[in-house]
Amino acid sequence: MSRDPDIPVLLFGAFDRHNFGDLLFPHVAAALLVRKKLIFAGLRQRDLRRFGGHRVQALPQLVRQWKNRPLHIIHAGGELLTCDAWQAAVMLLPPDQAQETVMRFAARPEQGREWACRMLGLSDLAPYVVSRDLFPGAGKVICNAVGGMDLDVRNPALQDEVRAKLRAADWIGVRDGRTQALLSAAGIAARLMPDPAVMVAELFGDTIGARWRQGEVARVSNAFPEGYVAVQFSNDFGDDRTLAAIAAQLDGLALSSGQGIVFFRAGAAPWHDDVDAYRRIVTRLRAPSVIFNSLHLWDICALIAGSRVYAGSSLHGRIVAMAYAVPRVSLRYPAQAGQLAKPEAFAAAWDPALPAAVEVHDIAHGIEQALAADPAQLRDTARHLAARYRTEFAALCAGIQ
């Protein structure tokens, strides 16, 4: 059954909502798979093509259609192992409804979990990890560069469910050493591989280059002839004290270099980036700055690719900068001091030559360190990781190609 070209591949992940990295993953998998009969699946039915994403089918409906029919399943990537049903359901709501829902169930978490299961149409505690039991006719079940950095501190029942699902999978690839170590301690073997986003320049360079020469990306580039710093941060950074610290750091850097500051969102789903925080920080800056409004996947890639340096809290902002050999530094939220965040874990495994993460009061120094990196070394890192990912992906999918 494995190599029958008529057997579809179900690409599954959190690309049913607007998040930069999740929108990228199915593009990469589709480009690398020899077979073209693909089903793009998430937890809810969505059409994100206007953002450069896919038309996504809902997993519960696909279970009814394909339960006993042959297909292969590939988890396309992302921090899927630790996303619980409550988080998944809230992130799939419009932002205004998400806030109201969080407040409604704040004092009733058990009812909140019951609401989430009803909304998703699944009883799973970790719904972004597909159980083989849902598809008895499935051939191969593959996890492609997934993450689960804090699996060991999650609900014990969720941990047990995730481990059981992974033990039933055929191949598992993870993108950071901590996830690999946690699974190894549970007796689950996993390959260490880069994140799929390291492939964007190699696979989609022409598409991204075209976006750079037109529309909002071109306007931003023309507005800053000396170049610009691409800056992104999640809504965790939105309090006044943190914004003031970021503004002071960016002002000093931009005013001395003549470069502009461009703020962009790497995710519009709930609990991601808040444009209001960007509006508030712009009023604090003396240096020229703009808010980049486009949420289109390829526009965001083009903006990062054309920048002098990237600074942000988004893991995939950093990885796309890496793919284009752009200097980069990750931002650490003050409350995360002493904790290993996703960008830092990824940098430790794949990008050790550049600063992993800096506190907000040290942004200017971190950017200066990044800009001092050897351009040839940055290009070598980009080429090496793309080649490594291609090799690892081929190994994971060898049974279905």
State whether 207 and 305 are in the same domain: yes
Q: What is the pLDDT of residues 301-319, one digit of tens each?
A: 999 999 999 999 999 999 9
Q: What sign results for the dihedral spanned by CA atoms 154, 157, 163, 165?
A: negative
The domain total for the chain is 2
Question: In sequence order, what are the residues at sequence separation of 6 or more whose Cβ sits closer than 8 angstroms to the Cβ of residue 46?
Answer: 16, 17, 53, 55, 56
State whether 223 and 370 are in the same domain: yes
pLDDT for the residue numbered 68: 87
State whether 227 and 331 are in the same domain: yes
For 231, the domain range is 199-385
Q: Is the pLDDT of residue 278 over 80?
A: yes
pLDDT for the residue numbered 227: 96
Tell me the CA end-to-end span of the chain in Å, nearest whole number: 11
**Range 4-8, long-range pairs (CB < 8 A, 24+ positions):** 4/70, 5/35, 5/37, 6/37, 7/35, 7/37, 7/70, 7/71, 7/72, 7/139, 7/400, 8/37, 8/38, 8/39, 8/71, 8/72
State whether 206 and 235 are in the same domain: yes
Q: How confident is the model at residue 252 (pLDDT cuts 50, 70, 90)?
A: very high
pTM of the shown model: 0.95
State whether 152 and 214 are in the same domain: no
Element (H, E) at 336: none
pLDDT for the residue numbered 335: 67
State whether 320 and 252 are in the same domain: yes
Q: What is the pLDDT of residues 71-82, one digit of tens each?
A: 999 999 999 999
400 within domain boundaries: no
What is the Cα 199 distance to its own chain's centre?
13
What tokens were used for 293? Answer: 């409004």
State whether 168 and 204 are in the same domain: no
Q: How confident is the model at residue 3 (pLDDT cuts 50, 70, 90)?
A: low
State whether 303 and 274 are in the same domain: yes
Q: What is the pLDDT of residues 342-390, one digit of tens each?
A: 898 999 999 988 988 999 999 999 999 999 999 999 999 999 999 999 9
Give residue 225's identity as a one-letter amino acid code: P
Residue-averaged pLDDT of the chain = 93
Q: How confident is the model at residue 59 (pLDDT cuts 50, 70, 90)?
A: very high
Q: What sign results for the dihedral spanned by CA atoms 45, 217, 275, 344?
A: positive
Q: For the domain that residue 320 is a member of, what is the CATH number?
A: 3.40.50.2000
Q: How far apart, in whole angstroms, are the C-alpha atoms of residue 299 and residue 227?
A: 17
Q: What is the pLDDT of residues 165-190, one digit of tens each?
A: 999 999 999 999 999 999 999 999 99
Is the distance from CB of 53 to CB of 23 less than 8 angstroms?
yes
Q: How far apart, in whole angstroms, are the C-alpha atoms of residue 86 and residue 104?
A: 13
Residues 45-64, mean pLDDT to the nearest whole number: 97
pLDDT for the residue numbered 126: 97
pLDDT for the residue numbered 301: 98
HSE-CB of 61 using CA atoms within 13 angstroms: 11
End residue of a domain, out of 143, 162, 193 = 193
State whether 207 and 155 are in the same domain: no
Is the distance from CB of 63 to CB of 135 less than 8 angstroms?
yes
Q: What is the pLDDT of residues 114-163, one digit of tens each?
A: 999 999 999 999 999 999 999 999 999 999 999 999 999 999 999 999 99
Q: How confident is the model at residue 1 (pLDDT cuts 50, 70, 90)?
A: very low
Q: Is the pLDDT of residue 5 over 70?
A: no
Q: Is the pLDDT of residue 337 over 80?
A: no
State whether 237 and 378 are in the same domain: yes
* For the chain, counts of helices (H) and of strands (E): 16, 14
pLDDT for the residue numbered 34: 75
Q: CA-based angle 155:158:164, to the nearest 5?
A: 145
Q: How far apart, in whole angstroms, are the C-alpha atoms of residue 201 and residue 378?
A: 13
Q: Is the pLDDT of residue 111 over 70?
A: yes
